[in-house]
Structure 1
Amino acid sequence: MSYHPSRSPDRHHPLDTGAWQAGGAPFHVPVAAADPHPRDGLPAWKWWALLVANCSLSIMHGYDVSNVANIQASIYRAFGHMELLHWVALSYSVCNIAFIPLGRKLFKFADFKTLNLVSMLFIIAGSALAGAAPNIQSIIAGRGLMALGTSVIYQGILSFNIIFAYPHELGLVQGVIGACFAVGLILGPIIGGAFAASEHATWRWAFYLVIPLCAVSFVLQALFSPRYRVPGGPKSTWAHVREIDWLGGALHAGVCVLFAVGCGALGSAGAGAGGGGEAVTAAAVWAFFGLAAAAYAVQQASGASAERRLLAPCARLRDRAVLTTWVCTAAAAASYGVALYYTPIYFAFTRGCGPLAAAARLLPFVGAFVGAVVLAGALLPAARVYQPFFALGAALLLAGAAALQTLRPDSPEPALMAFEALVAAGVGLNWQLGVAVCTARLPRDGGADKGAEIEARLDLALLSNLAQLGGIAAALAVAGMVYDSVGARSLRQAARAGVALSAADIRELLAGVDSPLLAADGDPAVLRAAVAAVTDAVRACFAILLGAGALCFVAACAMEWEALDFKPKPQLAAAGAGGGSGSTRCAPGYAADGTRDGRSTDDDDFLLRELPARPGTGSDASAVTVGGEPSILQDLPPAHHDRV
């Protein structure tokens, strides 16, 4: 602010916001400083160490979802119980989606670090139980215990990123976490199958492997993770515990489990393995599901106060952007789960591939998926407009799903891998962008209600978690029902044509266990019938991808065309009178002199800091300076000075 002789320092203009300094000495333009970012006091090396720990946990989480895909035959040989075999895989995903909302309530008041460490102990205990299981029921229980831990830890990872990552890097960080989860999903069948086929190890090591991986992350989290609680009122921990919607949590878990059981019962009824009894059982399960769902809806609508309800965060789905991105994420997750589980089954039956060879055929899928996730996360902050990413992803998913409807037993492998990559690219573009988009739309003005802003961010993490794991769990339950029904119908038609197949043979063939009917010296007619049935069943499951792609495309078209700001909001340094003798508060990434630390400048920075002073005007002693540098504001009229 230059000194004007016509205005005495004792007579300020009504719009003056700063004090005049004697002799016209330069001073920093005062700007209101926002609340410090939670990561401001975290050293960079600790941030990277925690990212490594979170990436490791995400890989482990994805691995736990799929590590039983290629060891179910070994588990069946060890314990039998064909009727429970599908729960070895399904229990983990279903329990995850059942526990996620309760985990969100815990993050509302508990320390993040403590929750993460305790959750990892549950994962270790569940892995040990499943690995040492004396029966198939213990494996299912161990998988449920692991899901209890991962439902909290993955919520913690997403919440940690949303709170501690800067807005311009959140999309990329979430994309990397999503890519790590995908890597774990593909490593599950490969590593599990390798253990099952090893002469020196058994299928049990597919579960034991999780223990050392989790232990490494436990040490990193214990040493470097900062303690953090959501800012809130003076309530005690016990008061928060009492306010948790426990009844809603029980109903939510019941609805999730009954849905999965009902889909399995319908699949068994369609397979006709149990005669009319299977149909009665399916009808009874779906009746109980309807009652539980109705009770859950009534309880959430009127049984608890709005802020205490288990699904209170779902109220944010009223926002158009939140709803449409949530739908796209759930559709992408459903497509991912079905493609991951049923593509190796097709190759195993039609090409005679073992567990490792069948899983290796997924490499184009995984490569395209990871590349799309990382690329989308990196490009979104620069593009700013998010709708084209979702629309392109939906179009690619639709194209790949339509191409997979041409599936035949003799379809060329290169073409199938190209279709896989097309689906994967579409899924990857929609996988993790929802959190970054919705978080960027939150106000970032440094308001007084910081706790409400953090609550909003955690709600978005919950919705993303529900969309991803819920989409996978629901799609696998429905796909299992479709696979059993369509495959059994095709095999029954072959049996009526003269192929000798019993109901038990049909179930064993569809389950992929080591049936003697699939031996190399088996009946060629049976082998042809099995290959045709599995191809029909897998193609029917891939119709789920077609529906998900269509839903995703509709949601993308319904999105607003808006540009978002993913850069952190700049706050200039505010120094006291006397040339900066007071304390200084800066936004993250800004030095005390107001510079951007090498980051790209925005319009405000350009006007205030980057343009050179007008030549030949003023003197060094009377020039306005911002961050210690001359500013073009020195020659503006006094009223304009005072508005700065």
Structure 2
Amino acid sequence: MSSPSLETTRVDTHEHDLEKKEVVNEPERPHYAAWQWGLTITGLYLGSLLYGLDTTIAADVQVGIYERFGDIESLAWVGLGFPMASVSCILLLGKLFSLFNTKHLLNASVFVFEVGSALCGAAPSMNALIIGRVIAGIGGSGMYLGALSFFSALGSPKKLVLYNALIGVCWGTGAILGPVVGGAFSVSSATWRWAFYINLPLAALFAPVYIFVTPSFDPRPDMTFRQKLKTLDWLGSLLIATILVVLITTIAFVGSTFAWGSGTAIALWVVSGVALVAFSLQQYFAFLTTEDNRVFPIHFLKSRDQLLLFIATAGSATANAVTIYYIPLLFVFTRGDDPLDAAVRLLPFIVVFIFFVMLAGATLPLVGRYSLYYILGGALIISGSALMFTVRDDTSIGKVYGYEILIAAGAGMTFQNGYGVASVKVKEEDKSNAIGFINTAQIGTTALALAIASCLYQNLGVSALKSALSAYDLPTPLLQAALGGAGSDVLSSLPARVQEIVVSTVAHTIARIFGMSIAAGALLFVAALVMKHEKIDMAGAAVGG
């Protein structure tokens, strides 16, 4: 006969197994009607799609905007303002979603996004358009982060990776379709303005869902509104926004708009450095906040797991951003494509990226060994980017498609996994911090990567074109406009041999930008190698290695 203690142990173990099985098979928490849950997640995914669309839609509308407003020096802000505003408020929004009603914040974000989109579409000047892009960027960031927070709070733990993967698919699809949609409107009678107006009817269509169907969830019902406001780290939020705005501005414009040794360039670098030091000290000593309420999860810097996931996500986001922006531009110059045709060249990237994001989201909960995805993804990104680095103006279209497919597979396999893995590896009260941390890596790196790539493209491109066209003594603003596609009518008037040199030079410049993707893939690969080669339970904690 078994001893009582042994019987008790068996019963307890059996009950624990049943509880674990119930958690794994739990549909959602709490339970909602299928129609309500279906409409809600459709609305959330639409928001992510629109956010991705607006992140890159400026890539193929800048020519039309330049023709309408001129002001070539401010044109870069049309593309840069949106992601810069998004990343500047990510950490604050993450804190807001951990304190305030998720539905209310989500609806407020949609409203802000639509206000910004409306201003962009109706902009009477370049400055108004840029302001609209900044406003839309803030709202879009809230829509994206709200979807992640919603699923983390109310979705089934077992399905969390898949939900996050679908958010990544929607964002990635929108980001890839951005140049296509922008290009289509640019060459149509609707003009570039409808590239921004299109957000209004789509959001209006789902407004009843956002207002009446989406479940309401208050993560901290034990706190009053005033108490929640007091817990926010306002100084830290202001300082990190300052760092990101000034740093991105510095990277994007020094060397092109501002000379490297100019007073403006030096001032920008100094302000960036001072803001970084001030923020570091404020966070370390919890000045005007508390250790628990700091806007930046500083304790993650001591976590090997979180740091490596941050690095891996950043590497994937960099490869993704560079490919989306510069593959269409390559075809504009080397094949004479119009903006729409050039954007369609991304279709192989779109299909493969979506497939591998979905594949990773569906299989990771089953496989559990997340480091394998990052190792393979990093290797694919390095391979595809290294091949893109060899591209010249006469490289066949088929080869370029093959190279971008390799990058798409690697980026898709690693783009969205960090959210689910990072959330599993922290305590319940730290999940919102983990989401914000990975979101900073993904969206923040996208903004920084675009700024760095723009700086490289402008500086390397202008220098190379000056050398190639030295006999014609063309002014720098004209060469800058030519790099973006504007002003090409002037270059087309040059002798045929010179046009060939220009196309070859620009193609070589674009290829060199993929050095960023090689470095990003290498960083991702190294981070993956030093990750814990463990198996994790996506519905709970790590279960062994």
- Deviation of the 1:235 alpha carbon: 3.1
Map 1:173-188 to 2 at 5 A. 173-188=163-178
Structure 2: which amino acid aligns with 1:242? K
Structure 2: which amino acid aligns with 1:229? D
Structure 2: which amino acid aligns with 1:379? T
Q: Per-residue displacement from partner, 1:332-367 (whole Å, max 9, x unpaired)?
A: 001111111111111101110001110111111111
Q: In structure 2, which of residues 171, 178, 196 is the aligned counterpart of residue 207 of structure 1? A: 196
Map 1:314-333 to 2 at 5 A. 314-333=298-317
Q: In structure 2, which of residues 530, 534, 545 is the aligned counterpart of residue 562 of structure 1? A: 534
User: Which structure has greater helix proportion?
Assistant: 2
1:263 match: 251
C-alpha separation between the residues in 2 aligned to 1:559 and 1:460?
17
Structure 2: which amino acid aligns with 1:175? A
In the alignment, does 2:49 pair up with 1:59? Answer: yes
Q: Per-residue displacement from partner, 1:510-557 (whole Å, max 9, x unpaired)?
A: 2321432243x5432442232133123212211100100110011000
Go from structure 1 to structure 2 and tell me whether the alpha carbon gap of 1:134 and 1:560 turns closer, same or farther (over 3 Å shift): same
1:230 match: 219
Q: In structure 1, which of residues 421, 424, 438 is the aligned counterpart of residue 422 of structure 2? A: 438
2:480 match: 507
Map 1:79-158 to 2 at 5 A. 79-158=69-148
C-alpha separation between the residues in 2 aligned to 1:64 and 1:562?
37
Deviates more, 1:44-53 or 1:401-410: 44-53
1:480 match: 454
Q: Which runs of 5+ in 2 are unaligned?
A: none
Q: Per-residue displacement from partner, 1:33-56 (whole Å, max 9, x unpaired)?
A: 799976233223322221211111
C-alpha separation between the residues in 1 aligned to 2:345 and 2:186?
19
1:550 match: 522
Q: Which runs of 5+ in 1 are unaligned?
A: 19-28, 443-451, 570-644
1:244 match: 232
In the alignment, does 2:205 pair up with 1:216? Answer: yes
Go from structure 1 to structure 2 and tell me whether the alpha carbon gap of 1:294 and 1:567 turns closer, same or farther (over 3 Å shift): closer
- Deviation of the 1:239 alpha carbon: 1.8
2:268 match: 285
C-alpha separation between the residues in 2 aligned to 1:246 and 1:85?
31
C-alpha separation between the residues in 1 aligned to 2:515 and 2:7?
67
SS in 2 for 1:104: helix
SS in 2 for 1:235: coil
- Deviation of the 1:231 alpha carbon: 4.0
Q: Superposition RMSD on alpha carbons, in Å?
A: 2.4
SS in 2 for 1:529: helix
The percent of aligned pairs where both chains have the same amino acid is 34
Structure 2: which amino acid aligns with 1:44? A
C-alpha separation between the residues in 2 aligned to 1:568 and 1:44?
25
- Deviation of the 1:417 alpha carbon: 0.7
C-alpha separation between the residues in 2 aligned to 1:95 and 1:548?
23
SS in 1 for 2:137: helix
SS in 1 for 2:219: coil
Deviates more, 1:145-154 or 1:30-39: 30-39
- Deviation of the 1:283 alpha carbon: 1.9
Map 1:452-531 to 2 at 5 A. 453=428, 455-496=429-470, 498-519=471-492, 521-531=493-503
C-alpha separation between the residues in 1 aligned to 2:30 and 2:248?
45
Go from structure 1 to structure 2 and tell me whether the alpha carbon gap of 1:387 and 1:33 turns closer, same or farther (over 3 Å shift): closer
Given that 1:328 and 1:390 are in contact with CA atoms closer than 8 Å, whether structure 2 keeps it comes out as yes
Q: Per-residue displacement from partner, 1:237-270 (whole Å, max 9, x unpaired)?
A: 112212211111111111111112111332316x
Deviates more, 1:38-47 or 1:55-64: 38-47
Given that 2:373 and 2:414 are in contact with CA atoms closer than 8 Å, whether structure 1 keeps it comes out as yes
State TM-score, norm by structure 2.
0.92
- Equivalenced residue count is 531
State TM-score, norm by structure 1.
0.78
C-alpha separation between the residues in 2 aligned to 1:509 and 1:33?
64
Deviates more, 1:431-440 or 1:327-336: 431-440
Larger Rg: 1
Q: In structure 2, which of residues 404, 410, 413 is the aligned counterpart of residue 429 of structure 1? A: 413
Greater relative contact order (CA < 8 Å, ≥ 6 in sequence): 1
- Deviation of the 1:14 alpha carbon: 7.3
Structure 1: which amino acid aligns with 2:482? L
Go from structure 1 to structure 2 and tell me whether the alpha carbon gap of 1:322 and 1:172 turns closer, same or farther (over 3 Å shift): same
Structure 2: which amino acid aligns with 1:75? I
SS in 2 for 1:39: coil
- Deviation of the 1:371 alpha carbon: 0.8
Given that 1:486 and 1:533 are in contact with CA atoms closer than 8 Å, whether structure 2 keeps it comes out as no
C-alpha separation between the residues in 2 aligned to 1:421 and 1:14?
59
